[in-house]
Amino acid sequence: MTTPSSSADRTGFGCPVHAMGAGASSRPGCDPDRSDAPAQPAVAGSLTYGSYLKIPELLSLQQPLSDGPEHDETLFIIIHQVYELWFKQQLHEAGYLAAALLRNDHPTAASTLRRMLTILKTMVAQIDVLETMTPTSFTSFRSRLSNSSGFQSSQFREFEFVLGHKRPKAVTWQAEGSPERTLLERRLAEPSLWDAALRYFAANGMKVPQELLQRDLTQPTEPSPALQEELIRAYQTLPSVRHLCELLVDLDEGIQEWRYRHVKMVERTIGMKMGTGGSAGVDYLRSTLFRSLFPDLWEIRSRL
């Protein structure tokens, strides 16, 4: 790998395409044969692409368990790890979004929601990659997974809580005393994005019922007919509130889309077999479809 030396390049990355050696010569300004292209070897102790991004550590984390190992187990591991990274980024963005809503900063809230939606589209599209794995190929290493399952993804549960799908029971699915359980307990007690949106609505002239502003934060979002009346009024008179609400509907629909693509992928891969996590599998996953995160925003639609 080459180490960039351009003075304009403070990260030490240079052109990432060039650094990775892929298709570089077709990019303007990134020709490895050019005499002014950076060609110095890495200097011991200086920041490089690999040391900044912890590439050696990252690449050591894919450890198949099957004998051989089975070819597709690497894909299975990498795709789950990539999802966990996206969950981490979504949680990072959700915290930023909640803070923007609480200080009534519409531009930041809207742009953060846009980013979350773009990531979500990538997360949904990634299911296509997993669908290139055939049922026989998955069966060749499935027994190695033992009882482990995406059902145990603690970041996914954190994301559900942040989105307002709170269930105290989901905390008990993590081992007692584990860091994951502690984090989930914290998320359970924190305001969800909908709680932050309620404060944003109140700051923009909507009459938000007091009981919603003082609700038990550990409970899921419930529809409120009184709030729905206010939302209908806001859709007609408050364009920025309407804009934000539509982005929240996009997010809600996007999560439902991920669930749908996941269950269809599961059905084509394992049919009606039980899940490794012990659930009924496809039947369980179907029961999680079409549950809306922001029910008021769906309830009002036939009256708009």
| Cα–Cα distance for residue pair 145/141, rounded to 1 Å | 7
| Cα–Cα distance for residue pair 38/46, rounded to 1 Å | 15
Cβ closer to ligand HEM: 138 or 298? 138
Q: Is 279 in the site for ligand HEM (CB under 6 A)?
A: yes
Neighbouring residues of 4: CB distance < 8 A, sequence distance ≥ 6: 12, 13, 14, 15, 19, 38
Taking alpha carbons only, the member of 93, 152, 141 closest to residue 118 is 93
> Which of 66, 117, 277, 299 touches ligand HEM (CB under 6 A)?
277
Taking alpha carbons only, the member of 22, 54, 30, 16 closest to residue 3 is 16
Question: Of all residues in this chain, which one has the CB nearest to ligand HEM in the complex?
Answer: 275
Cβ closer to ligand HEM: 50 or 277? 277
Taking alpha carbons only, the member of 243, 249, 256 closest to residue 301 is 249
Q: Is 89 in the site for ligand HEM (CB under 6 A)?
A: no
Q: Is 108 in the site for ligand HEM (CB under 6 A)?
A: no
Cβ closer to ligand HEM: 191 or 277? 277
Stretch that binds ligand HEM, among 32-40, 47-55, 93-101, 273-281 (CB under 6 A): 273-281
Cβ closer to ligand HEM: 9 or 283? 283
Q: Is 171 in the site for ligand HEM (CB under 6 A)?
A: no
| Cα–Cα distance for residue pair 39/92, rounded to 1 Å | 36
Q: Using CB under 6 A as the criterion, which residues of the chain lie in contact with ligand HEM when the complex forms?
A: 79-80, 83, 130, 138, 149-151, 153, 156, 262, 266, 269-270, 275-279, 281, 284-285, 288
